[in-house]
Amino acid sequence: MSGKEQIEKLASLLGYESSNGVLYGIKNDYHFSLYKTKINYVNFYALSIVCTHMLSNETIKTLKKTLKITIEYGSMNDNLIFNALFTSASKPEKSVEQIANIIDTVTLALQDQHINEVNTCLFCGLEKEEEETSWVLYKKLYICAHQLCLENDYEKQEQIIKAEDANLKKLPLSIVLAVIGAFIGTIPAILVMIFTGWLFGILFAVAPICSFFGYKLGKAPMRWYATLIAVISSLVACIVSIFIIYFTLAALSNVDFVELIKDPSSGFMAMFLQAFLFDVIGVLCAWGYITKINHRKVDK
């Protein structure tokens, strides 16, 4: 059962509405949304409410302990977004009681501390009091908005997408700069290896980050493939950098390059495998940072 099907089933069992993989409704006078999200390759349910201020630290600690949830806060258009993240059984029938309890307990906690939901337009606030607002789903949130404000926002998003599409012609330049950036990122590892004889694997973590900023410099669209290009470029740069190291060592030692890498005592293969492994570790270390920056750019 897909995540969307699970949400639809949960909505049916709990008596709420669902649309495009988002369950939404009203509980204890709070408009909320519930959806599935993935964080560091782990699936979570997310309960979201747009509210006026935060829960007290003591209440947050109590909710975390009793409900086994993680509470985070985000923002959109200067409005506070309460997010409760938790894991549950994959079958809706087995998770319905847990989820119903979390929704009820969280909304009661907000109510007990007199934390109000934002019931004015998420986009303009009270600037258009004469216009009627309605509750709608927007980016997986159940929000209050003027219809015209919502339409204007969607129009702005379409304009941003069109502008990005127009920048697709810059993709070749961004790829080239990503490769150049990756090689620049391997320079510290190369210099340390040549002049000290030590391989500091952590230095290879610099390569994917440099590659990503090289891609950004080319001003191509910041889409999912930006991260992939940065990772592939850094891996290629890592492989080539090992050959550069041994070519330099061969030149400094006045020996034939091919003979040097064929010589078992040179440790070429061991060095190659170590460098590749450390680069993969570097990619994993840098992946979260690159993806976060990439998504932040997309969200804007």
Confirm whether 158 is domain-assigned. Answer: no
Q: Can you tell me the mean pLDDT for 195-204?
A: 68
Please provide residue 120's backbone torsions phi and psi, each rounded to the nearest 5 degrees: -110, 165
Q: Can you tell me the mean pLDDT for 164-179?
A: 86
Residue 113 domain boundaries: 3-119
Band (pLDDT 50/70/90 cuts) for residue 49 is very high
Closest by Cα among 267, 247, 270 to 258: 247
Q: What percent of the chain has pLDDT over 90?
A: 39
Confirm whether 140 is domain-assigned. Answer: no
| 271 residue type, one letter | M
Does the pLDDT at position 48 exceed 80?
yes
Task: Identify the H or E element spanning 48.
Answer: strand 42-51
Gap between the Cα atoms of 171 and 222, Å rounded:
10
Pick 106 or 267 by higher pLDDT.
106
Pick 221 or 178 by higher pLDDT.
178
Q: Give the per-residue pLDDT at 70.
A: 94
Band (pLDDT 50/70/90 cuts) for residue 130 is low
Distances 114 to 51, 108, 152, 177, 257 between C-alpha atoms, Å = 11, 10, 32, 52, 74
Sheet containing 30-39, strands listed edge to edge, beginning at the edge strand earlier in sequence: 17-19, 22-27, 30-39, 42-51, 79-86, 70-76
Q: Can you tell me the mean pLDDT for 179-196?
A: 83
Domain's final residue, options 55, 85, 119: 119
Q: Can you tell me the mean pLDDT for 245-256?
A: 83
Confirm whether 106 is domain-assigned. Answer: yes
Q: What percent of the chain has pLDDT over 70?
A: 90
Confirm whether 291 is domain-assigned. Answer: yes
Band (pLDDT 50/70/90 cuts) for residue 131 is confident
The number of domains in the chain is 2
**291 and 216 belong to one structural domain:** yes
Domain's final residue, options 119, 150, 184: 119
Confirm whether 94 is domain-assigned. Answer: yes
pLDDT, tens digit (0-9, with 9 covering 90-100), for 69-94? 999 999 888 889 999 999 988 888 99
Cross-strand pairs, 23: 18, 34
Q: Give the per-residue pLDDT at 61.
A: 95
Q: Give the per-residue pLDDT at 235.
A: 87
What is the total residue count of the chain?
Answer: 300
Gap between the Cα atoms of 199 and 14, Å rounded:
57
**174 and 114 belong to one structural domain:** no
